[in-house]
Structure 1
Amino acid sequence: MNASPYDDAFRNQVVERLVDLEPGFPSTSAAAEVVAREFGISRDSVRRWAVAAGAWMAHNSSTLRALQAENAALRAQLGR
């Protein structure tokens, strides 16, 4: 495996930018695309570095389904 041309400081800067921007986007992936363009790197690099830093949570469809079911149950309790 080849060594990355990017040092840890650069990776940290990219991840910090993603964390700062992410709340303003509909998805982490959309924010990563903007960060990738801003830094001239691939979106996949942003994703890999963010996952390694714990800033990108992998989506788990079973967890999503459980949360959707819980949301539906709570709405039913509220009469919505």
Structure 2
Amino acid sequence: MASLAAMKWLGTNRPVRSLRPMYVCICNALSERKIRESANQNGPVRAVGDIFRALGAEPECGKCAAHAVAVYHEEAARHAACA
């Protein structure tokens, strides 16, 4: 599912499913899908390091941190609203 930023860029308010994984972290090969699945399984986190640890990784360069947190919190909020 596309992020909110991607949906705004595409000019749509409907989620767009991609056939290819959208990589958030190149250093650890973490896709949006993996981060979203982690949010659904693990619930709220306090720090970006918690997201990476839940996925069995560690932050490397840090360029993805803000986007990884945004994707995680977006999915956690969506999951909480559906529960």
Identify whether the pair has TM-score above 0.5, normalized to the shorter chain.
no
Higher relative contact order (CA 8 A, sep 6+): 2
Larger-Rg structure: 1
Instruction: With the length of structure 2 as denominator, give the TM-score of the two structures.
Output: 0.32
Which structure's residues are more often strand, by fraction?
2
The two structures have a TM-score, normalised by structure 1, of: 0.33
